[in-house]
Amino acid sequence: MTETTPMQPDSPQNPHGGQRRRRGFSRRALLIGGAGAGVAAAAAGGVAVGHAAASRDIGPESQVVAFRGERQSGIITAAQDRLHFASFDVITDSRSDLIAMLKKWTDAAERMTLGEETVPDGATGLGDYTPPADTGEALGLHASRLTLTIGFGPGLFGPSASAPDRGDRFGIADRKPAALTDLPAFTAERIEPARSFGDICIQACADDPQVAVHAIRNLARIGTGVVAVRWSQLGFGRTSSTTKSQDTPRNMFGFKDGTANLRAEDTELLDRWVWVGKDDNPTAAQWMTGGTYLVARRIRMDIEPWDRANLLEQEQIVGRLKASGAPLGQKDEFDEPDFNITSFGAPMIPRTAHVRLAHPDNLGGVRILRRGYNFTDGSDGFGHLDAGLFFIAFNRDPGTQFVPMQQVLSRQDAMTEYLIPNGSSLFAVPPGLGDGEWWGQRLFE
Amino acid sequence: MTETTPMQPDSPQNPHGGQRRRRGFSRRALLIGGAGAGVAAAAAGGVAVGHAAASRDIGPESQVVAFRGERQSGIITAAQDRLHFASFDVITDSRSDLIAMLKKWTDAAERMTLGEETVPDGATGLGDYTPPADTGEALGLHASRLTLTIGFGPGLFGPSASAPDRGDRFGIADRKPAALTDLPAFTAERIEPARSFGDICIQACADDPQVAVHAIRNLARIGTGVVAVRWSQLGFGRTSSTTKSQDTPRNMFGFKDGTANLRAEDTELLDRWVWVGKDDNPTAAQWMTGGTYLVARRIRMDIEPWDRANLLEQEQIVGRLKASGAPLGQKDEFDEPDFNITSFGAPMIPRTAHVRLAHPDNLGGVRILRRGYNFTDGSDGFGHLDAGLFFIAFNRDPGTQFVPMQQVLSRQDAMTEYLIPNGSSLFAVPPGLGDGEWWGQRLFE
């Protein structure tokens, strides 16, 4: 340590002359003053757009997404380009410590979604002899449409897959929704506990990955002693469109998938299939009405064998043309698939095709909102890329939506041959926050 | 497999009616025709900029960086935002197979940097009964300033750290440059062979990560049977500026680092410190003159302990103010550090500060070109993020530049306490390609 050991405040060696010189370097200040550009800074709580010239990362990604509202952001928000998703274990039994952390998290999260530091002047303005309250790597970056979405896992309420012997540490067992049950095992998955489960999740989405990584890192840091990161996952590219203005991206199989996704404009369908109704789970009505359930699945794709399959096989597995994304037998991506078209007696969209099996017509009308991301986590040591889909879906009742859908897909979908699901988690996502409300307040009060 | 088994070409069940319907869906065609936007498509070999409205990923990232020229692109090219870096083992002893692959790689690489598929109509236009030659996930995406930079590791020429018993498989041992020697061990590193070494590297940089991932994946695929991915690394955000028009990004310590980096405009310094001269390595003059050497180091950062260090300690370790990036004792990021300033007898920039030790004045004038990326690869299972810096540097002679610099830093730099280098590699990067030339041609011919 030697010369890097902190000096005393009144030491003549202090090269800064106190903390004054650092003031004015907050993210927001840089946003306003940076590069001599005129920036309309985000008004607290609202939706504002920053504009500037002659600096990087200027454009749509400078937008601010409202943190508070009827729903949490990050669900029907137009899917951002990048993801950092973290699952935390709560490592304390202290209800008051957990609540205190959730309050701190809420403050920091709201500030970060505005493009600000976790606390005012947190990165560099709190004095020389204090660890900075903000880690600083987002200084100078825009809000980048950051959304932070919180969810609570089964283990917060008592025994769960990740901690079967756990008790009701926080006195909330009687508020656990019946729908918040560990997902069952599905065919052909290889679930790794170190990539699964958790007591609390935070989904950070942004158009700048450094902004999403900064947010998760700083929440993890604020939670020191109360939570520990159980697992986390970066997603480099969105695979879903959640508004009608977004195009459908391609997944790592090279296909457009999720064309028939629920979208923000489908308000009636969202009420039916995504948002929890007040009578859904009586024990949890107080804190989950208007919320939803988040399913997270890390699905590694066997991309090298996939790449050796011929085009027709690929298209028959998916049930769409690779080029246009049109359902087999149709011309345009958004044409409705017709499962009754046959050609010489055989269905044009095979019975094992993904688009057929995942279609609401073949699932009793059931729908979900998909919001996943492509990932690549280096290589597996055997010459293959460790790549795939980090599947995220929101649904009102996993037991009657995601679970039966996945039971059908895992048993019948021809695509299963090329998929290795190795992470699986479920979280209850409360509704959005009112003014002054903190994350989890309705659950704990 | 059942219904997904490929049908015969003349089967009445073929839902496509041949391959005609897929033509016109190449990346370039989509680029031109996409979203009704007016796009100036990239002219082959040149530098062109695409412009369009009402589609995502429109902007500077639609640019094309020239693939051929005096130098390989991706070195002094303005650093793109995202990285996928792959290191390959050559798994064949056949010189002709290796050369054939390098020719195929060159064709595909040049096409991909233009925003095109690996071969014309490769993703969907080669017929139903052929595995697509392009994996398709970049269909519809722009060139995104993709650069693909190739390097050759010591193991290609004979014995090396990764394969000490290897012979001269390809008859090029006499062309090995003396400078291409495995890096020595440095203090306080924990090198993992599974993240180190390799016979060939490809650095893919782009402003859209999906474009970089697509490029590495498709080159790996083209190389099946000849090379296997030894390791690969995604970088989510650039940490360097390589032209004077770029600002200095922040690393995962929250600091601006590399302010004094060599930049594209420093042509004389680049000739002195980056580009290999014709007399540097007589055995390799034929193929390395005008090239450079790439050092790749995966440096995990102990970010949680770092975040507990107070601001003064952080700044004294780095030697810069965190907010502005100014050297201690100065006011502006780009002010020259003054290592002689003392305050009551002690140096204001401590003797163990990174900026002092890494400064050319303290290394006999030695400089390097840094071009690294921030990474986050999930978590380590102990509650910590697996995050840090994927360090990439280019230098003319690692033995007299990077190695002595790193010997000083690894022994004296106070930052070492917070760094765990766990990957280390060195590659010889030939100069750029002339018209019709293929990667490695001057080495093998």
Residue A277 — φ and ψ, nearest 5°? -85, 165
Say yes or no for a CB contact (<8 Å) between B4 and A351: no
- Tell me what pLDDT residue B62 has: 62
Please write the tens of the pLDDT for every residue from B157-205. Answer: 999 988 899 999 999 999 999 999 999 999 999 999 999 999 999 999 9
| Per-residue model confidence (pLDDT) at position B162 | 83
Report whether A252 contacts B209 (CB < 8 A): no
Q: pTM for the full model?
A: 0.90
Q: What is the pLDDT of residues B22-43, one digit of tens each?
A: 444 555 434 433 332 323 333 3
Residues of B in contact with A337 (CB under 8 A): none
User: Nearest residue of A to residue B250 by CA position?
Assistant: A137
pLDDT confidence of residue B27? 57
Mutation target to probe the A interface, by most A beta carbons within 10 A, among B1, B4, B142 is B4
Q: Quick one: tokens of A287?
A: 């804190």
Share of chain B above pLDDT 70, in %: 86
| Nearest CB to B343 within list A12, A140, A220 | A12
**Which pLDDT band, with edges at 50, 70 and 90, does B259 fall under?**
confident
Query: Which of B136, B350, B351 is opposite residue A254, by nearest beta carbon?
Result: B136
Res B25: pLDDT: 52
From its phi and psi, is residue B265 left (phi > 0), alpha (psi between -120 and 50) or beta? alpha
Q: Assess whether pLDDT exceeds 60 at residue B16.
A: no
CB contact under 8 Å between A312 and B343, yes or no, is no
Task: Encode pLDDT of B69-112 as tens digits.
Answer: 999 999 999 999 999 999 999 999 999 999 999 999 999 999 99
C-alpha to C-alpha distance for A136 and A120, rounded to whole angstroms: 12
B22 and A379 in contact by Cβ < 8 A?
Answer: no
Beta-carbon count within 10 A of B242 CB = 24
Q: What tokens were used for A184? A: 């069952």
Q: Are B398 and B381 in contact (CB under 8 A)?
A: no
Instruction: Give the pLDDT confidence score for residue B415 in this predicted structure.
Output: 97
With contacts defined as CB-CB under 8 Å, which chain A residues touch B352? Answer: 2-4
**ipTM of this complex:** 0.89
- The pLDDT assigned to A39 comes to 29
Contact assessment for residue B58 and residue B144, using Cβ atoms and an 8 Å cutoff: no
Identify which of B372, B157, B158 has the alpha carbon closest to the alpha carbon of residue B251: B372
Does B213 contact A387 at a Cβ distance shorter than 8 Å?
A: yes
Amino acid identity, position A107: D
**The pLDDT of residue B17:** 39
Q: What is the pLDDT of residue A54?
A: 28
Report the pLDDT averaged over residues B118-139: 95
DSSP A321-378: -TTT-PBTT-SSTTSPP-TT-EETTEESS-TT-HHHHTSGGGTTT---EE--EEEEEE
Q: How far is B149 from chain A (nearest CA, A)?
A: 18
Single-letter amino acid, residue B19: Q
pLDDT at A27: 56
**pLDDT per residue of chain A (445 residues) written in tens, 0 to 9:** 333 333 343 343 444 433 334 444 555 434 433 332 322 333 323 333 332 222 334 445 468 999 999 999 999 999 999 999 999 999 999 999 999 999 999 999 999 999 999 999 999 999 999 999 999 999 999 999 999 999 999 999 999 988 899 999 999 999 999 999 999 999 999 999 999 999 999 999 999 999 999 999 999 999 999 999 999 999 999 999 999 999 999 999 999 988 889 999 999 999 999 999 999 999 999 999 999 999 999 999 999 999 999 999 999 999 999 999 999 999 999 999 999 999 888 999 999 999 999 999 999 999 999 999 999 999 988 889 999 999 999 999 999 999 999 999 999 999 999 999 999 999 999 999 999 999 999 999 9
Please report the pLDDT score of residue B257 as a whole number.
87
Q: Residue A417's closest chain B neighbor by CA? A: B1
Distance CA A366, CA A400 (A): 8
Query: Domain locations in chain A?
Result: 2-246+262-271
Query: What is the model's pLDDT at position B294?
Result: 98
Smallest Cα distance from B140 to chain A, Å:
9
- Distance from C-alpha of B215 to C-alpha of B202, rounded to nearest angstrom: 10
Do the chains contact at A348 and B13, CB–CB below 8 Å? yes
Q: Return the number of other C-beta atoms located less than 10 Å from residue B290's C-beta.
A: 16
